[in-house]
Amino acid sequence: MDRTGLTLTDESLAGQPVTLTNCDREPIHIPGAIQPYGLLLCLAPDTHRIVQASANTAALLALPAETLLGRGLDCLFAGPRQAEVATWLPTLREQPKLLGVRLDALPGQPFFKLIGHQFDNLLWLELESVAEPEAARPLNLPSLNDALAELLAAESVADFCQAAVRQVRDLTGFDRVMTYRFGADGSGEVVAEAARADLEPFLGLRYPATDIPQQARAMYLKNWLRFIPDVDYVPVPLVPAFNPLSARPPDMTYSVLRSVSPIHLEYLRNMGVAATMAISVIRDGELWGLIVCHHATPRLVSYELRDLCLFLGKTFSALLRGKEQADDYASQLRLREHQVHLFGLLAEAADFREALYDHLPAVQAVFDCGGLLVRFDGELRTVGSVPEPAQVTALLDWLHHEAPATADVFATNSYVRHRPAGVAARATASGLLAICLDPTAGDYIVWLRPELLQTVTWAGRQQKAEELRDGQVFLSPRQSFEAWSQAVENTATPWKPIELEAAREIRLRIADIRLRQLGEVQARARALNALNAELARSNNDLDSFAYVASHDLKEPLRGIHNYSIFLLEDYADQLDAEGVNKLQTLVRLSQRMEALIESLLRISRVGRLEPELQAVDVNQVVAEVLDLLHPRLTETGTTVSVPVALPMVQADPVRLGEVFNNLITNAMRYNDQPHKAVSILAMPAGSVVGPQGPIDPARYQVLAVRDNGIGIEARHFENIFKLFKRLHGQDKYEGGTGAGLAIVRKMIESLGGQVWPESTPGQGTTFYFTIPTFTPPAP
């Protein structure tokens, strides 16, 4: 037994003092005891006979728990009452439910409210006595209507939280009602409070995630309301301790009377709290926070009034998302107003530098921050709370040379985490939001946020902390605040996503203003180079994605094709003609899809791999391609001629071979002549003009592949180079994927050349392309 009289059933905690390090392992869902303001009966779901009872039945019903075991409800209720309860039991679910009328147990005994639920293969009946005074205002619909109207009218999350605590306090009469909100790291903050005027305010109190351990948060997600009318209660054990049906302690997650953690009770006593109620706030299936009530003396609130508070809590949860969206919209609107004001000031001045330095307060005002640094053209200006000059210089130099590569905007809420030496500046610069004006010169605009501890005030912060008592650590609000302080040391308020987006927009707008006002070719060239580099990175990423995606698609597609063949081979005789035709269509379509994926792989491979440039004898490349295509040439009756010797070029032999392979294959395919003829030509210098003008013979050789095929209309010259673009249906000219010429263009361009067609419909086509001339190295 621990100091509260509650037995801890987890052997790993037995005999250990209550600390922050072990409370997260406490089995709070199986305490094996209840609070004494009611009694508990556990029934077998099939027989409705009592298998467990709380030990206080002797005091409340004059029937010892041991005498109730194995008996039916006829030992408590008779006649119409027994029938009413028997009818009610099958309707029970996990969430507790009130029977709705007071039930008399035995003659001369007090009346009870009967609350029931079904969980852990048991029927749970909890009886709260109504002989005790109910410390609450009378329930009336006008008060509920007023509460809902105030919640709906709240225009911000802060007003919404304040309205909720005010309404719950008005309904219940608790000394203090607070809204706790959990942060992304699990820590929490009191964001709203309604309390007696003489009480010390807790608004702004911060506490670490360990104050509410994970198993408690999980319980809050399941059971929306927890009530403790007297923290000094003596827990009432269940008889027997283990459920005879399962041979283990029953899971009391949804029990209204469930005894609570002794750690939490000690925490409440240290706060001077004698009674408490907590209502979960759940948004999108996650625990957003709690509405918590405290009272300095024991306080019993009726089940009906607690149920009304639960209704307000669930209404609060349902409306919360809309209030948060309204807050986000208001924040965006404020940011936009500051941005527009700043852009107007900077754009109106003739000198950008002077305009920037003249309006530093307007630059700072865009974001909620403590100070601002601006370094531009070698000059440094500051406004607000900033570090010492040496620390500012070190910060800007670190941003320039060592900050993580995050494009042109860098943000952190812990400068020290990136640069330990920054601890000297944490009071004013724990958080940074920096935009780069010139990466070469190291010009930046930096908004600074102070350490979070510098911006937090809490009335209890000056209390004396009683840390040790009889050799044990006892939790208190003061100690929680200190634990939270250690967790967030060297940390600033995080930058919101909308703030990061606004910073990017400011940087881009400033760049536009500078370019427009300076009008310098060099500045434009730098911006263009940066954009080109970004475009190149994007193209490389796209090529890599196409390669990976198409490569990974081949295996499942091959499986579809193979299984379709197997079906045709093994089950064709069991299918009708239509079924066989559909399978054949599936085989044909999978083959076409595999061809498309292979084309995509080939074209993405061109973008991902650098060409291996070397001196290449075009005659040798063409000979190898013709040798590879010889069976096809013979089959189609195609002759290929090379009238004159081909030159030496500077190229990648593999890619050049792919070019000739694709062009010769197209010449065979798109040809309806009885005798198909293809010529491979080296064009004399100056005999051909490219699409972009005359071609320098000192730099490029012009090669050509000419056929006597069907020809191409001039209006299609650009479309034929588009990926998977075909000018004919799949049933004409041997099908094909439409990727061949796209691959040709990409390969020629990767070698530094260009490709274009000349054609007359019905009279054949000539594809010209340029390849860099090979220049022997000087002796």
Cα–Cα distances (Å) from 441 to 222, 380, 436, in that order, read 57, 13, 10
Q: What are the structure tokens assigned to 281, written together?
A: 């706030």
State the chain's mean pLDDT as an integer: 79
613's tokens: 């440039």
Give the angle 301-304-307 at the CA atoms, nearest 5°: 95
Contact 258, 120 (CB under 8 A): no
- What whole-number distance in Å separates Cα of residue 540 and Cα of residue 530? 15
Q: What is the mean pLDDT of residues 445-473?
A: 56
Angle, alpha carbons 309-261-311 (nearest 5°): 10
Name the residue with higher pLDDT: 463 or 206: 206
Instruction: Among 351-360, 568-577, 623-632, name the most confident range.
Output: 623-632
Least confident segment among 180-189, 427-436, 529-538, 624-633: 529-538
Residue 537: the pLDDT is: 65
pLDDT at position 549 is 54
**Residue 685, pLDDT score:** 82
Position with higher pLDDT, 339 vs 229? 229
The span from the CA of 504 to the CA of 497, in Å, is 11
Residue 538 has pLDDT above 70, yes or no: no
The residue with tokens 């920037």 is: 356
Is the pLDDT reported for residue 5 higher than 60? no
The predicted structure's pLDDT at residue 458: 40
Instruction: State the average pLDDT over residues 336-351.
Output: 78
User: Of 69-73, 459-463, 609-613, which range is least confident?
Assistant: 459-463
Decide: 656 and 606 in contact? Cβ < 8 Å. no
**Residue that the structure tokens 């479309």 belong to:** 719
629: its two tokens: 């295509």
Percentage of residues in the chain with pLDDT exceeding 70? 77
Q: How confident is the model at residue 207 (pLDDT cuts 50, 70, 90)?
A: confident
114 touches 257 (CB < 8 A):
no
Question: What is residue 300's DSSP assignment?
Answer: -
Both tokens of residue 237?
């054990």
175-178 contacts at long range (C-beta below 8 A, 24 or more positions apart): 175/199, 175/294, 175/295, 175/296, 176/202, 176/293, 176/294, 176/295, 177/291, 177/292, 177/293, 177/294, 178/202, 178/203, 178/291, 178/292, 178/294
Q: Would you state the pLDDT for residue 299?
A: 93
Q: pTM, whole model, 2 decimals?
A: 0.57
Instruction: Give mean pLDDT, residues 70-99.
Output: 84
pLDDT value of residue 113: 85
Which domains does the chain carry?
11-27+135-327 (3.30.450.40), 38-129 (3.30.450.20), 349-451 (3.30.450.270), 531-608 (1.10.287), 614-772 (3.30.565.10)
Quick one: pLDDT band at residue 463, thresholds 50, 70, 90? Answer: very low
Which DSSP helix (H) or strand (E) runs through 103? strand 97-104
Higher pLDDT, 222 or 542: 222
pLDDT (tens digit, 9 = 90+) per residue, 588-607?
A: 666 656 655 655 555 555 55
Q: Is 184 helix (H, G, I), strand (E, B) or coil?
A: coil
pLDDT score recorded for residue 195: 93
Q: What is the pLDDT of residue 360?
A: 85
Say if residues 702 and 768 touch (Cβ distance below 8 Å): yes
Q: Supply φ then ψ for residue 254, to 5 degrees.
A: -100, 5
329-354 mean pLDDT: 78
pLDDT at 20: 46
Give the tokens for residue 492.
């600033």
- Which residue from 397, 439, 389 is spatially nearest to 381, judged by alpha carbons? 389
Strand-pair category, 379-384 with 431-438: unpaired
Q: Among residues of the chain, what percentage have pLDDT more than 90?
A: 20
Q: pLDDT band at 468, cuts 50/70/90?
A: very low
Backbone angles phi, psi at 707, to 5 degrees: -130, 170
| pLDDT of residue 438 exceeding 90 | no
Q: What distance in Å separates the CA atoms of residue 237 and residue 656, rounded to the nearest whole number?
A: 87
Name the residue type at position 418: H
**The predicted structure's pLDDT at residue 145:** 79
At residue 545, what is the residue type?
A: F
Taking residues 618-625, what's their average pLDDT? 90
Q: CA–CA separation, 85 vs 105, rounded Å?
A: 12
- For residues 265-283, average pLDDT: 89
- Average pLDDT for 303-318: 90
Task: Give me the phi and psi of 690, to 5 degrees please.
Answer: -80, 175
| Alpha-carbon gap, residue 160 to 439, rounded angstroms | 45
Single out the residue of 292, 304, 301, 282 nearest to residue 223, CA to CA. 282
pLDDT at site 143: 72
**417-446 average pLDDT score:** 86
Residues 485, 488, 489, 491, Cα dihedral to 10°: -140
pLDDT tier, 226 (very low <50, low <70, confident <90, very high otherwise): very high
Q: What confidence tens digit (pLDDT) does each residue in 475-518 have?
A: 455 455 555 555 567 778 888 888 888 888 888 888 777 777 65
Of 313-317, 527-531, 611-615, give the lowest mean pLDDT range.
Answer: 527-531
> Is the pLDDT higher at 285 or at 742?
285
Q: Which amino acid is at 586?
A: L
Q: How confident is the model at residue 118 (pLDDT cuts 50, 70, 90)?
A: very high
128, pLDDT greater than 70 = yes
Contact criterion met (CB below 8 Å) for 656 and 744: no
Mean pLDDT of 670-683: 89
